[in-house]
Amino acid sequence: MRKYEDARRVLRIRREDLPAHVAVWEGHDDSLVGMAEINGFEVAVYDEEQVLYTLVRRDGMTRQDAEEFLEHNMKGAKIGEANPVSVLLGRDLVSR
């Protein structure tokens, strides 16, 4: 478990490290893990499990409500071609 947690810490980047034009999910800076290029657009990349944890812990949602909120209100937001994306990291894939 320790190596997994260390890897998550290494992956984290700061919001201010992103170019100003990259759209972000407000209130989820602790879940930001990087940036990717999709269809020629630079997008922010988030740790999906950390986003869900934040929605449950900070906003008092149930796990199911958090998953629905992420899917419809965050992933489903039409910011343009450069919507942020989320990824499953390591152990999160096994637990699904």
Residues 63-74 pLDDT 10s: 999 999 999 999
Where helices occur in 1-96 by DSSP H, the ranges are 2-11, 48-59, 63-69, 91-94
Cα–Cα distance, 96 to 49 (Å, whole number):
11
Q: Give the pLDDT score at 10.
A: 53
- The neighbour count for residue 45, using CB atoms within 10 Å, is 20
Query: What does the pLDDT read at residue 2?
Result: 47
Domain region containing 15 = 2-94
User: Which one, of 7, 79, 91, 6, lies nearest residue 38 by Cα?
Assistant: 79
> In this predicted structure, what is the pLDDT of residue 96?
52
- Report pLDDT digits (tens) over 2-12: 444 544 555 67
Instruction: Identify the residue with better confidence: 21 or 91.
Output: 21
Total structural domains in the chain? 1
7-46 confidence digits (pLDDT tens): 455 567 888 889 999 999 999 999 999 999 998 999 999 9
